[in-house]
Amino acid sequence: MAKRFIDTDLFKKPFMRSLEAPYKALWLYLLCECDHAGIWTVEMDIAQIRMGMKLDPEKAIEKLGGAAVPIDGGKKWYLPDFVEFQYGTLNAENRVHASVLALLSKNGIDPENKPLVSPLEGAKDKDKDKDIQERKEREPNLEWPTWAGP
């Protein structure tokens, strides 16, 4: 049985508060069912049986707003912030981290360059992003997920 860290403030976050109940349950299911690299092999039929509710995978991706990103033609979903929250900065010298890096690489994911939520996001204010990054480097990373949600 794998053990996972979970943010005890998860339900206080705007992302979680914005989700309808079935998608909150799905998010928790994904956190428990993904592999240790944050990749879930999409088995929506099994998820629906285990959770006892009907879910539309396309609507789920839309509702999760980038917290889950389809990869491998939609056969798998990647949770971009999972690895950072569970392990922090990955170090190839660490056996667990090396395994995570291998899984990410196998699935065509560069942990340094997370997939974009949408190519329609447009240009970002790089000065603002730089200020945010510098503030994050000064402060301990105690929150997860790091995105604010949709």
In Å, how far are 82, 84, 123 from 143, measured between CA atoms? 11, 10, 25
Confidence bin at 129 (pLDDT 50/70/90): low
Question: For the ranges 3-7, 96-100, 101-105, 135-139, which has the lowest average pLDDT?
Answer: 135-139
Residue 122 has pLDDT above 60, yes or no: no
| Structure confidence at residue 91 (pLDDT) | 86
Q: Which long-range contacts (CB under 8 A, 24 or more apart) does 29-32 make?
A: 30/68, 30/77, 30/79, 31/4, 31/6, 31/79, 31/82, 32/4
Peptide bond into 145 cis (omega under 30): yes
The angle subtended at Cα 48 by Cα 79 and Cα 19, nearest 5°, is 55
Average pLDDT over residues 6-22: 90
pLDDT, the chain, mean: 81
Residue 6 has pLDDT above 50, yes or no: yes
Residue 38 has pLDDT above 70, yes or no: yes
68-119 tens-digit pLDDT: 999 999 999 999 988 888 888 888 888 888 989 989 989 898 877 655 444 4
| 77, β-bridge pairs | 40, 70
Please state, in angstroms and rounded to a whole number, the distance separating the CA atoms of residues 96 and 99. 5
| Structure confidence at residue 131 (pLDDT) | 63
